Amino acid sequence: MNNKYLITVVGPTAIGKTALAIDLANAFSTEIISSDSRQFFKEMKIGTAVPDEAELSAAKHHFIQHKSIFENYSVGDFEREALELLSELFKKHDVVIMAGGSGLYNKAVMDGLDDFPEVDSSIREGLNKRLQEEGIEGLQLQLKNLDPSHYKNIDSQNPHRLIRALEICLGTGKPYSSFLQQKKSNRAFKSIQIGLTADRDVIYDRINRRVDIMMENGLLEEAEKLYPNRELNALQTVGYRELFEYFDGNWTLDFAISEIKKNTRRFAKRQLTWLRKDESVLWFDYETDTGEIIDKINSILSKK
């Protein structure tokens, strides 16, 4: 399969990855793997900007709302299932498209996961206890001190990510980031990464407008239904956490919405920080004509 190509569309949230992925899938008569870890869960439709019915019918998508928030589903599970699917798709397609803003999930499929040592489970238990008793701020400060490099790149409001990084730091005495960027796994396909970007003000404006549209489409009602299960890992994500604070009576609705926008903008900044470290990404302005991007891809494919 070494003449097969996985084309991954990357970029900050709300930049237009879904639309480009569909255009590319149609241009190459192929299918799309979604690597957006938030869109895996069928109960989280509005707050994760799941492609609408027209988009889903425009090209065949995989890994969209195929799991429940009550199921445990890790990046390792996704890597295994995505590779199994790719082996089947590459039997009938020379090119497959992958799209999503979850950098770790993209990396897992393209390069394989980094190897982390086993650590004593009591460390995680202790961190979870601290989270419940003291809140998230202490964990944030501890990770910032132990591994400032990784702290800058993760969602510091996500307790699951914080605890995962801290247990490695505490259990090994080494920064979590020291276990990243290890030797790549061999893949039976080649990867091309297409990145979409824009000026910061444009990205932020698109994010703010997307949040307003989500609220108009019923995000508040969706979050209210999920509120009783707010402790689940799947729900430790922007767009839901802030509305849970509103339901708790801690914030006004207007403030919660403003926090969704702010935290989504921060997330987009972290996405770009992650991606810009990867020199293999081919960057295009978000308004670039799709034909130009297709021409670039074809020029690479013609050299195979």
Mean pLDDT over 52-67 rounds to 97
Contact criterion met (CB below 8 Å) for 103 and 275: yes
Alpha carbon 98 to chain centroid, angstroms: 12
Model confidence band, residue 183 (pLDDT cutoffs 50, 70, 90): low
Q: For the segment 78-123, what is each residue's pLDDT rounded down to a tens digit?
A: 999 999 999 999 999 999 999 998 888 999 999 998 788 888 888 9
Contact criterion met (CB below 8 Å) for 61 and 88: no
Model confidence band, residue 181 (pLDDT cutoffs 50, 70, 90): low
The pLDDT value recorded for residue 90 is: 98
Q: For the segment 16-48, what is each residue's pLDDT rounded down to a tens digit?
A: 999 999 999 999 999 999 999 999 999 999 999
The pLDDT value recorded for residue 117 is: 81
The CATH T-level fold of domain 121-179 is Histone, subunit A (1.10.20)
Q: For the segment 283-301, what is each residue's pLDDT rounded down to a tens digit?
A: 999 999 999 999 999 999 9
What is the C-alpha separation between 36 and 169, in angstroms, rounded? Answer: 27
The ranges assigned to domains in the chain are: 5-112+190-301, 121-179
Q: For the segment 128-167, what is each residue's pLDDT rounded down to a tens digit?
A: 889 888 889 999 999 999 999 899 888 888 888 899 899 9
User: What CATH number is given for 5-112+190-301 in this structure?
Assistant: 3.40.50.300
Residue 2 has pLDDT above 80, yes or no: no
Q: What are phi and psi of 59, to 5 degrees?
A: -160, 150
Model confidence band, residue 304 (pLDDT cutoffs 50, 70, 90): low
Q: Exposed, middle or buried by CB within 10 Å (0-12, 13-18, 19+), for 136?
A: middle
**Least reliable range by pLDDT among 115-129, 201-215, 225-239:** 115-129
